[in-house]
Amino acid sequence: MRAITAELSKLFSLLSVWVALAIGMIVPTAIAALNSVSTRKEIALGDHTAVGIDMGYQELAFGVIGAIIIGVVAISHEYFAESGESGGGRQITTSLIAIPSRLRFLFAKATAVAMVSAVLASAAAIATMAAIRIVLGDHAPEIGSEDVPRLAGIVCYWVLTALLAFGITVLTRHGIVPLAILIVNTSVVTVTYLLTRLTSLAYYFPDMAGIRMFIRNLEDSTVEIAPLVGGLVMTAWVAALLIIAAIVFCRRDA
């Protein structure tokens, strides 16, 4: 428990984490507001089908970049202190002396990352849905009981993506490669989506499966995956990656 508190305070001492929190909140809200303004114009022109079933949720899928940054930075800053001073000391040695059990260290860090991502996702979801309601007013889709599993799906998606980023960075140590790959894959047309044009197996990649938890209408989708199944597939990917990361981390030199 103390280890988790320590990891949380380490996270909040990083500027990048605060930037990630800001990005996670602002990006989906801003995009949703912009899209709502366009939608409102379309409704005014008489198009009543403009409000999609995934309104708000698609925008929240972009905001996951905040969770990615948190997952990457949480572990990469242990290894690389970039400053003008040549210092040389890496925080990882201090951290591992403080918590000799590497597994506990990694578990505490992963838990901290998951907790922060979950809170961020919840706050972002509230802000985004509120923005849509404010702009669209009466035309906004109703929030009912069917939305609860979808909102839970958003939170799961962000948490699992953060842990995915975390696991990859444990293996690579420097955050640039996982950060670049995951940001590119969060773009408007993701790489994994492109791969689905090639083979329907690509629908089972972690992000493609994971968005099923909250996206109901995936464009050109040839395979139907239930939300729960999508969530389980993504969880399986992340769990496998974290296990590999833990094994490698525990066995290699600091």
Partner 1 sequence: MSAEVARPHSREFVQALAAELSKLWSLPAVWLTLGGSLILNLVLAAAFVSAGLQDLTGTPNALDIGLASISYIQAGYIVLGIVASCSEYTGGQIRTTLTAMPRRSLQLIAAHLALTIVVVPAALITATSGVLLAAIALGDASAPVELGSTVGILAGVTGYLGLTTLISASFGVLLRRTLPAAIVVLGYTFIAGPILREQTTQAKYLPDTAGLAMWFPQPGDASALSPVHGATVLVAWTLGAFVVALAVYRKRDT
Partner 2 sequence: MLTIHQLVKRRGSRTILSGISFQARSGRVTGFLGPNGAGKSSTLRILLGLDSATSGEALINGVPYARLRTPLATVGALLDGSGAHRARTGRAHLNWIARSAGLPRSRVDEVLATVGLTDAASQRVGSYSLGMGRRLGLAAALLGDPEVLILDEPVNGLDPEGIRWIRTLVRERAATGRTVLLSSHLMGELAETVDDVIVINQGRIVADGTLAEVIDGHGTLENAFFALTTPNGGRVAQ
From the centroid of its chain, how far is CA 185?
11
Among 186, 154, 142, smallest CA distance to 53 is for 142
Q: Does 86 bind partner 1 (CB under 8 A)?
A: yes
* Contacting range for partner 1; rule: CB under 8 A; set: 107-115, 188-196, 226-234, 235-243: 188-196
| Per-residue buried b or exposed e for 113-145, using 16+ beta carbons within 10 Å of the residue's own CB | bbbbbbebbeebbebbbebbbebbeebbbeeee
Lay out the site mask for partner 1 across 192-231 (x = CB under 8 A, - = otherwise).
--xx-xx---------------------------------
**The only residue of 2, 48, 82, 87 in contact with partner 2, by rule CB under 8 A:** 87
Contact 11, 69 (CB under 8 A): no
- Amino acid identity of 160? L
- Amino acid identity of 76? S
Residue indicated by tokens 């239930």 = 226
Report the partner that residue 73 touches, choosing among partner 2, partner 1, none (CB closer than 5 to 8 A by kind): partner 1
Q: Does 88 bind partner 2 (CB under 8 A)?
A: yes
First to last CA, the chain: 23
Output 86 or 145, the one with its CB closest to partner 2. 86
Lay out the site mask for partner 1 across 29-68 (x = CB under 8 A, - = otherwise).
--x--x---x-----------------------x--x---
CA distance 246 to 63: 27
Cα 248 to Cα 110, 237, 252: the distances in Å are 15, 17, 6
Output 85 or 219, the one with its CB closest to partner 2. 85
* Contacting range for partner 2; rule: CB under 8 A; set: 54-62, 82-90, 147-155, 232-240: 82-90
Cα 38 to Cα 19, 34, 35, 135, 199: the distances in Å are 28, 7, 5, 10, 34
Lay out the site mask for partner 2 across 27-66 (x = CB under 8 A, - = otherwise).
----------------------------------------
* Contacting range for partner 2; rule: CB under 8 A; set: 20-28, 83-91, 148-156, 226-234: 83-91
Question: Residues interacting with partner 2, by CB under 8 A?
Answer: 85-88
Question: Residues interacting with partner 1, by CB under 8 A?
Answer: 15-16, 19, 23, 27, 31, 34, 38, 62, 65, 69, 72-73, 76, 82-86, 88, 175-176, 179-181, 183-184, 186-188, 191, 194-195, 197-198
